[in-house]
Structure 1
Amino acid sequence: MSGARTLDTYRLLGRSGLRVSPLALGAMTFGLDLGWGADKDESRKVFDTYVERGGNFIDTASQYTNGTSEQMLGEFTADNRESLVLATKYTMLRRPNDPNSGGNQRKSMMASVEASLRKLNTDYIDLLYLHVWDATTPVDEILRGMDDLVRAGKVLYVGISDAPAWQVSRMQTIADLRGWSPLIALQVEYSLIERTVERDLVPMARELGLGVIPWSPLGGGVLTGKYSRADLNHPAQASVTGTRKDVVVAAGSLTERALDIADVVKEVAAELGVTPAQVALAWTLRNPGVTAPIIGARTAAQLEDNLGALDVEFEAAQVDRLEQASAIELGFPHEMLARAMTRSVVQGDLKVEKRV
């Protein structure tokens, strides 16, 4: 059971009082700059459909479709900016030969935010994410920069995306101890195809008050059933441009294992009389740590289909089949801690419940 029935059944985002829809609208498809998005008219239809259904949580980034995504959103949100939660990200290289035009450092952060404010045609960003961990910038530099943006009123909340769990937990602890703005959201890749975040990232987020925002909950479209084993021979390329299939292959989402999982998704969808995309999205919504998966629809019709995930209810046996097909090894220390022998030496026959 998804626990939500409409886009205007709002959820609190992490440890904040910010209210967001249970499905976020991803705007990475807004623009044709990369060769596989949607033109302005279709992007407008997608946006309007989402908002008319009660959706309020929009996700973009500084360089999505080379900045076209933010520019379009600046136009689309002109009449209802205050009622929407606009999230964008900084980190991506904005000028190829300028080493400080990308990365996590303060100079990149401040310049990227100013550029996003101009493109989004707004004087504040509701939620700013660090987009990708660069492994070079000190965490206190990042946190202090984010806090300064919040204190200046240019950003209301901060989050993080695509970073190691130990670094995120370290940052949250520092923010708490120093009275800086805490991280309230964590973006991670999460789907039936990619469940390794269940080892540490998702439990960490629940413990420390970050709402989990899954990206690619459809596994790059593989879970919709659009690809077959004939596509496994498609050449990979290290680029976000080209066709959508090029991107999916380059991201490593199109594999034999992924197609096996997609087959089970299709079987469950047929039993329920819904689409595979709705099954895949509804499964992510079952996780109590997940706040709002990001749906990156390229057409209004795709968006309408995706929104049907809010109405999907599973039988217990169907959930078991999906989770068995997509199961991962949790590894050390999780599997060791779950062993009966380990539990016996820690607590014997005692029964202990943890209530959150």
Structure 2
Amino acid sequence: MGRTSTRTVAELADTLVELVEAGYARRTGVSNWPADRLSSLAQHLAERGHTAVASYQFSLAEPDPARMNGNIHADAAVLRAVHDHRLPLVSWSSQARGFFARPDAGQNDVRPDAFDTEQNRARRRRCRELAAELGSSPETVALAWTLRHPGVWPSIGPKTPRQLNRSLDALHLSLTDEQAHWLRHGGERPAG
């Protein structure tokens, strides 16, 4: 369920519970709901003995909301709702649609890239710097950053075996708290 419904959250929760109890689904959830609505659904489902699954865009690169076509990035409010209700978060575009693997200029895509912002270009530069130090790739470092978040299950969409391997390499790349903070916020470079 992505767009706002005319039904109340309680009614939607009843329908989702019916689907699970009838065997049509094991778990149900939502994507792209504002944090307060997600929190309300989680509460209604918990009262019925169920846990919602949340699915939002979440990665080191934060997209420009004006280019997201109504989709919602898992911002601080959404992450707080996910944490408070102990919801699993399936993150889509967890590698920012290949943003960290692309060169700085010369994109071939004709549509505007929601991830191509000055802030994200700086994050990509930091990923490149850390990847070179760690003997890794920028996209692996960016996915390792996402994997550091408990309860987040990043989805990936590799098109080649090389892309798949670079994604899988993130499972074995442990970033320190300082490295993760630096990747996100910049500032003083953490010691090796």
Matched, 1:134 2:33: no
Q: Verify: 1:191 aligned to 2:47, yes or no.
A: no
Q: Supply the distance in 2 between the matched residues of 1:286 and 1:280 (Cα, whole angstroms).
A: 10
Q: Summarize the Cα distance change of 1:180–1:321 in structure 2 as closer, same or farther, 3 Å threshold.
A: closer
| CA displacement, residues 170-222 of structure 1 (integer Å, 9 cap, x when unaligned) | 11222233x26431x21111111129634211121121121112111111211
Please show how residues 323-334 of structure 1 align to structure 2 within 5 Å.
Answer: 323-325=184-186
Report 1:247-326 matches (<5 A).
249=112, 252-290=114-152, 292-325=153-186
**Structure 2-normalised TM-score?**
0.81
Kindly indicate which of the two structures has a greater share of residues assigned to strand. Answer: 1
Q: 1:215 to 1:325 in 2, by over 3 A?
A: farther
TM-score by length of structure 1 reads 0.46
Other structure's SS at 2:54 match: strand
Larger Cα Rg: Structure 1 or Structure 2? 1
Identity of aligned residues (%): 28
For residues 133 and 110 of structure 2, what CA distance do their matches in structure 1 show?
Answer: 31
Choose from 46, 62, 66 the match for 1:176: 46
Structure 1 residue 149 corresponds to structure 2 residue 149 = no
Cα distance in 2 between the residues matched to 1:160 and 1:153: 18
Aligned to 1:137, what secondary structure does the other structure show? coil
CA-based RMSD: 2.3
Moved beyond 6 Å, runs of 4+: none
- Cα deviation for residue 316 of structure 1 reads 4.6
SS of the residue corresponding to residue 214 of structure 1 reads: strand
Q: In the alignment, residue 24 of structure 2 is paired with which amino acid? A: K
Give the Cα–Cα distance (whole angstroms) in 1 for the partners of residues 43 and 178 of structure 2: 40
Once residues 79 and 85 of structure 2 are traced to their aligned partners in structure 1, the CA distance between those partners, rounded to angstroms, is 10
Q: Does 1:228 align with 2:88?
A: no
The one-letter code of the counterpart of 2:140 is: Q
Give the letter aligned to residue 270 of structure 1. A
Structure 1 residues 289, 150: CA separation in 2 closer, same or farther (over 3 Å shift)? closer
Structure-2 change in CA distance of 1:135 and 1:270 (3 Å): same
- Secondary structure (helix, strand or coil) at the match of 2:26 reads strand
For the residues of structure 2 that align with 1:135 and 1:246, how far apart are their CA atoms?
32
- 2:123 and 2:184 in contact (8 A); partners too: no
**Structure 2 unaligned blocks of 5 or more:** 64-72, 188-192
Report the count of equivalent residues. 178
**Given that residues 150 and 181 in structure 1 are in contact (C-alpha distance below 8 angstroms), is that contact kept between their aligned partners in structure 2?**
no
Alpha-carbon distance between aligned partners in 2 of 1:143 and 1:315, rounded to the nearest angstrom:
39
Alignment gaps of 5+ in structure 1: 1-129, 235-244, 327-356
Q: What does residue range 38-77 of structure 1 map to in structure 2 within 5 Å?
A: none
For the residues of structure 2 that align with 1:229 and 1:257, how far apart are their CA atoms?
15
